[in-house]
Amino acid sequence: MGARVLVRELEGYPESLLQLADPPSVLYAIGNLDLLRAPCIAIVGTRRATSYGERVTAEIAAALARAGATIISGMARGIDGVAHRAALSAGGATAAVLGTGVDVAYPAAHRALHEEIAARGLLLSEELPGDRASGGSFPKRNRLIAALARATLVVEAPHRSGALITANDALLLNRDVAAVPGPIDVPQSAGSNLLLRDGAIMINDIADALALAGVSAPVARSAAPADATLLAVWNALDAPAPDLDSLASRAELPARRCLAAVTVLELEGSIECALTGEIRRRGTLARSFGR
């Protein structure tokens, strides 16, 4: 299956895992282990994410990935899956730590994501290949996520969630724990808001997330693009556009061509799309998620 066997204290075994009280004696890996050499940030949260949580996760993960960080998560539904996909869509790096065998996609709906991470990122597990999920395998997985990352960021987590277990594991390792604030009347934010009450680092904007990882945003391109369609969109963004339809109208382009150009420019790091839907040249985005 193309997996590599990593034996504790031998070459290739992630050194950060040796800080655990009970590091796995054997680890199975598929993909690029060099991704763990970059600054690694864990992004975790509830399986039942709100649209707010998904938007914030996607923007943070993409920004960190473009800046050179590796996004670590557990490939679960909700926040985990969004974080992995955003990192890949941004052309960046992501690693998934599994509670199943490294060759087993769980949940089954994430089979395509599992395959993409295997091809472009890194899959890790201490479970035997072929093993299915069990009740105790996910808490075990969470301690590995915390140990691999220099900091753990919780986006949304209710009380008694796996994301809070990961945050606690990070605290036991003297790693930074951060959280994104959420509405006080939404159950998905109850646990993450408690982390903030108890001293977790507040992530209020992209700059906070980059500082947590110790990375900087890539420098925006100063020259206008050469392609005619891209140039039309670039010129239309002399002032921020409130949404895609407005931008397409300004650029005098069909909406589909405008969307394709926006996607290219965003992946290049020339422009960014805010959580509100606003589209701007990079460096001019509103800072706060609460906008």
pLDDT tens-digit series, residues 102-134: 999 999 999 999 999 999 999 999 999 999 988
Looking at residue 50, its amino acid is T
Architecture of the structural domain at 4-213:
3-Layer(aba) Sandwich (3.40)
What pLDDT shows up at residue 282?
Answer: 74
What pLDDT shows up at residue 285?
Answer: 37
Cβ(82)–Cβ(49) below 8 Å: yes
Looking at residue 141, its amino acid is R
Q: Cα 52–55–59 angle (5° rounding)?
A: 140
Instruction: Give pLDDT < 50 ranges for the chain.
Output: 222, 284-291
- For CATH 3.40.50.450, the residue range(s) in the chain are 4-213
Cβ(71)–Cβ(65) below 8 Å: yes
Give 95's strand partners: 72, 122
DSSP string, 71-117: EEE---TTHHHHHHHHHHHTT-EEEEE-SS-TT--SSGGGHHHHHHH
What pLDDT shows up at residue 284?
Answer: 43
In the chain, pLDDT over 90 holds for what percent of residues?
Answer: 74
Counting other chains too, the contacts that 185-189 makes at CB distance below 8 Å and 24 or more residues apart are 186/50, 187/158, 187/159, 188/45, 188/46, 188/48, 188/49, 188/50, 188/53, 188/156, 188/157, 188/158, 189/156, 189/157, 189/158
Residue with tokens 């808001």: 193
Cβ(151)–Cβ(174) below 8 Å: no
Q: Which residues of 254-266 are buried (b: 16+ CB within 10 A; e: fewer)?
A: eeeebeebbebbb
Cβ(149)–Cβ(40) below 8 Å: yes
Pairing label, strands 93-97, 70-73: parallel
SS3 134: coil
In the chain the first and final C-alpha atoms are separated, in Å, by 47
Lookup: tokens for 202? 């507040």
What pLDDT shows up at residue 225?
Answer: 64
Return the DSSP state at 225.
Answer: P
What pLDDT shows up at residue 216?
Answer: 83
How high is the mean pLDDT of the chain? 90
- For CATH 1.10.10.10, the residue range(s) in the chain are 228-281
Closest CA to 38 of 58, 67, 59: 67
What pLDDT shows up at residue 224?
Answer: 60
What pLDDT shows up at residue 287?
Answer: 37
CATH class of the structural domain 228-281 = mainly alpha
Helix residue ranges per DSSP H, 122-276: 137-148, 162-172, 190-197, 206-213, 228-236, 244-251, 255-267
